């Protein structure tokens, strides 16, 4: 649970912190990019490039242009979000304390899960990247309520095992499994998320393998 220092009146600090949380949620809510927005940007890009290319060159060059544009766009967006998250967390630490990070982390994860429910939102930053950024500012342990949200969202396929990254979660569990100050219940819940991610990963790989086998079969015909 978040703890707020009493260097001013408790009522004022709590009020300020509530405002900060709302602003934080709104800001990162706006950073989510819709598929429609990305499609519009890609269409604008293609129209500008088609004007520069001759008909004979277009078919040869356009695929490479699309790939380069998308890679550059995604990388720039990811870098921007990472920089913005670092900046916001730095401000929070300077004005409150590291003890609020677990609450802020939970707020961000909850926001992303809600956005992913819409099926048309992209955030350009993985769960591992989010954790590593928070880690830089002193965050260490993913709390029970956050784990509950992640487990539920993964069970209902709201979030992807790719976004969570099984190898990262497995290593995270190893890092907390030997710590005596972490409850057995929290360790078990963390392991549940690790195992569920592994299962979802295996299910996807089986489906993909069947798809590839079927595709190759029709090619032989």
pLDDT in tens, 93-138: 999 989 999 999 999 999 999 888 876 566 688 999 999 999 999 9
Residues linked to residue 122 through DSSP beta bridges, in sequence order: 33
% the chain with pLDDT above 70: 72
More confident residue, 66 or 96: 96
- The pTM assigned to this predicted structure is 0.81
pLDDT digits (tens, 9 = 90+) for 6-24: 554 555 566 788 999 999 9
Average pLDDT, stretch 39-62?
60
Dihedral (C-alpha) 11, 15, 20, 22: value to the nearest 10 degrees?
140
Q: How would DSSP label each residue in the chain? A: ------SS-HHHHHHHHHHHHHHHHHHHHHH-EEHHHHHHHHHHHHHHHHHHS-HHHHHHHHHHHHHHHHHHHHHHHHHHHHHHHHHHHHHHHHHS-GGGHHHHHHHHHHHHHHHHTTSSEE-S--HHHHHHHHHHTT-----HHHHHHHHHHHHTTSS-HHHH-HHHHHHHHHHHHT-TTS-HHHHHHHHHHHHHHHHHHHHHHHHHHHHHHHHHHHHH-
Most confident of 116-125, 142-151, 209-218: 142-151
Which of 140, 165, 184 is the last residue before a domain boundary? 140
Average pLDDT, stretch 135-144?
97
Which residue is associated with the tokens 């500012």?
137
Residue 184 has pLDDT above 90, yes or no: yes
More confident residue, 31 or 94: 94
Both 115 and 34 in one domain: the answer is yes
Measured distance between the N- and C-terminal CA atoms of the chain, rounded to whole angstroms: 61
Total of domains in the chain: 2
Both 90 and 168 in one domain: the answer is no
Q: How would DSSP label each residue in 104-146? A: HHHHHHHHHHHHHTTSSEE-S--HHHHHHHHHHTT-----HHH
Both 164 and 89 in one domain: the answer is no
Decide: residue 62, CB within 10 A, 0-12 exposed, 13-18 middle, 19+ buried.
Answer: middle
Distance of CA 179 to the CA centre of its chain: 26
Which of 140, 159, 187 is the last residue before a domain boundary? 140
More confident residue, 87 or 208: 87
Both 120 and 55 in one domain: the answer is yes
Q: What range defines the domain where residue 186 resides?
A: 142-221
Residue 79 has pLDDT above 70, yes or no: yes
Average pLDDT, stretch 151-157?
96
pLDDT value at residue 12: 54
Choice among 79-88, 105-114, 116-125, 173-182 with the minimum mean pLDDT: 116-125
Residue 1 has pLDDT above 60, yes or no: no
Q: State the chain's mean pLDDT as an integer.
A: 82
Paired tokens of 187: 């360790």
pLDDT value at residue 75: 87
The pLDDT-based confidence of 55 (bands split at 50, 70, 90) is: low
Both 61 and 123 in one domain: the answer is yes
Which of 140, 163, 191 is the last residue before a domain boundary? 140
Both 126 and 172 in one domain: the answer is no
> What sign has the CA pseudo-torsion 73, 78, 79, 84?
positive
Both 133 and 66 in one domain: the answer is yes
């Amino acid at each position: 649970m978040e703890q707020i220092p009493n260097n001013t009146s408790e009522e004022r600090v709590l009020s300020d912190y509530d405002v900060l949380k709302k602003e934080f949620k709104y800001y990162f809510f706006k950073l989510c990019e819709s598929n429609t927005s990305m499609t519009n940007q890609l269409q604008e890009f293609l129209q500008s490039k088609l004007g520069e290319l001759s008909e004979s060159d277009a078919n040869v060059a356009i695929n490479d242009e699309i790939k380069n544009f998308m890679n550059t766009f995604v990388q720039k967006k990811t870098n921007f979000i990472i920089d913005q998250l670092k900046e916001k967390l730095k401000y929070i630490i300077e004005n409150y304390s590291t003890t609020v990070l677990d609450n802020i982390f939970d707020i961000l994860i909850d926001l992303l899960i809600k956005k992913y429910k819409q099926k048309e939102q992209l955030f350009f930053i993985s769960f591992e990247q989010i954790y590593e950024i928070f880690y830089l500012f002193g965050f260490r342990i993913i709390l029970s309520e956050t784990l509950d949200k992640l487990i539920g969202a993964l069970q209902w396929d709201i979030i992807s095992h790719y976004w969570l990254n099984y190898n990262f979660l497995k290593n995270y569990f190893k890092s907390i499994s030997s710590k005596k100050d972490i409850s057995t219940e929290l360790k078990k819940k963390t392991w549940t998320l690790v195992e569920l991610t592994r299962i979802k990963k295996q299910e996807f790989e089986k489906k993909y393998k069947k798809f590839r086998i079927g595709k190759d079969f029709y090619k032989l015909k």
